[in-house]
Copies of this chain bind each other. A is one copy, B any other.
Amino acid sequence: MTQLKNDLFIKACRREPVERTPVWIMRQAGRYLPEYRAIRDKYDFITMCKTPELAAEVTIQPVDIIGVDAAIIFSDILVIPEAMGMKLEMLESKGPKLYNPIRNIEHVKKLNPVDPYKELKYVLDAVVLTKKELNGKVPLIGFAGAPWTLMTYMVEGGGSKNFSEIKKFIYNQPVAAHSLLNLLADITADYLSAIIESGANAVQIFDTWGGILSPKDFEEFSLQYIIKVISKIKRNTEPVIIFAKGVHYKMMELAQCGADVIGLDWTMNITEVRSLIGNKAALQGNLDPTILYCSEDKIRSETISVLESFGKGSGHIFNLGHGILPDVKPDNLRFLVDTVKKESVRFH
C-alpha cells in the first residue's frame, strides 16, 4: 500500500495531533469546476460514474486545482438502488429520478440482491484507478447513502417537497419499511467494505433526509440502520464519517453510533456540539455553502469564525455544511481552502 504523503485528514478523523486543520468540500468534484463541466458536456452523469477513467479524472480534479486535503470518489448514492434493479435517471435541473418507486412489500421482494464486486464493480474499479493515480498524494474517501435516505429516494421516486409517500410507507407499511431498511443496511455495509477493500482510506455515510423525521422516527427508521451499517463494515483503521443533515436533535446518539466523525450542517454550533459530545467523535463542517458567493474578506472572516468555533486542538475537518453549489466561482473555493490552510495553524 502506498504511504500517504498528506495524512492530515485521516489524523484529524482520529483526533490525533495535526499541524493545521485539513479541508475537503462536499461535491468538490462537481459542476462549479469548468474542468468538470468540460467532461460532463461529453458524457451523461451515469456514464461518468460507470467509466472508471472518467470518475478518476474528475475525482482528482479538485485535488490538483483547488488543493483539498482529501479526494472523494466521484459517484452517487443512488448507484445502490440502480444495482437493485431500479431505473435511474439524473436530470441536471430536476435532480434524480427513480422509475417505478417502491410502494409495498411486493415491490421490495422484487429488488435484486447486490454483490458489490459484480453489480457495483465499476465503483471499485474507479477507486482502484483513482488510488493509483493519486499515488498517495491525499487520502481517498468512499461514500454511500444511509439506508433511510436511500429508501426515501426509492419510495418517493426522486426528490420531494413534502415527503408524503415515504411517510405513508413507514407509517402504514412498517414491516415493508423495516424489511427494505435491513436489506439496504446489509448491501451498504458490503458496498462500503468493498470500497475500503479496494483502497479507500475513509468512508462517509450521507443521511441527507434524516432531518425530515421526528426524533423518535429518526431512531426507529434511520439511526438503528446507520449503526447496523457501521458495525458491519469490514475495516482496519479507516475512519467512518456520518453526515445526517438537519438531525440537530440526535448529536449525542450520532457521536455514539460507531462513526469516528460527525458532519455538521450550517445550522449547528460547533462549540456546543464539541462541548456536548466531548471526545466521542471528531467534527466535520460546517460553513454555510452560500458564503462562497461572498467577497474574499467575508470568506476569510467566516472561515476564521468556523475555526474559532471549534477552537484549539485536533478533531476538526473543515468542510461546508452541505455540498458546494454549482454557480460558485472556483477562485472563491481556492481562496477558502488557502485560508483554512493558513489560518488554522494557530489552532494546533
With contacts A162-B325, A164-B327 known, is A266 near B171, CB below 8 A? no
Closest-by-CB residue of B relative to A210 is B267
Q: Given the complex, which residues of B lie within 8 Å of A304, measured CB to CB?
A: none
- Within residues 260 to 284 of chain A, which ones have a CB less than 8 A from any CB in chain B? 266-269
In the docked arrangement, what's the CA distance between A269 and B218, Å? Answer: 13
Pair A168/B290 contact, Cβ less than 8 Å: yes
Q: Which of B163, B215, B266 contacts A290 (CB 8 A)?
A: B163
With contacts A164-B290, A293-B164, A325-B164 known, is A267 near B171, CB below 8 A? no
Q: Which of B163, B168, B249, B266 contacts A214 (CB 8 A)?
A: B266
With contacts A248-B267, A267-B246 known, is A293 near B214, CB below 8 A? no
Query: Can you tell how many copies of this chain the complex includes?
Result: 2
- Is A231's beta carbon under 8 Å from chain B? no
| B-contact bits for A150-178, CB 8 A (1 contact / 0 none) | 00000000000011100110011000000
- Is A291's beta carbon under 8 Å from chain B? yes
Q: Given the complex, which residues of B lie within 8 Å of A290, measured CB to CB?
A: 162-164, 167-168, 171
With contacts A167-B288, A248-B249, A267-B246 known, is A172 near B215, CB below 8 A? no
- Is A298's beta carbon under 8 Å from chain B? yes
A283 to chain B, nearest CB (A): 16
The 26 sampled A-B contact pairs (Cβ below 8 Å) are: A162-B290, A162-B325, A163-B290, A164-B293, A167-B293, A168-B293, A171-B290, A171-B293, A171-B294, A171-B298, A172-B294, A172-B295, A211-B267, A213-B267, A214-B266, A214-B267, A214-B288, A214-B321, A215-B267, A216-B305, A217-B288, A246-B267, A248-B249, A248-B267, A249-B267, A249-B268
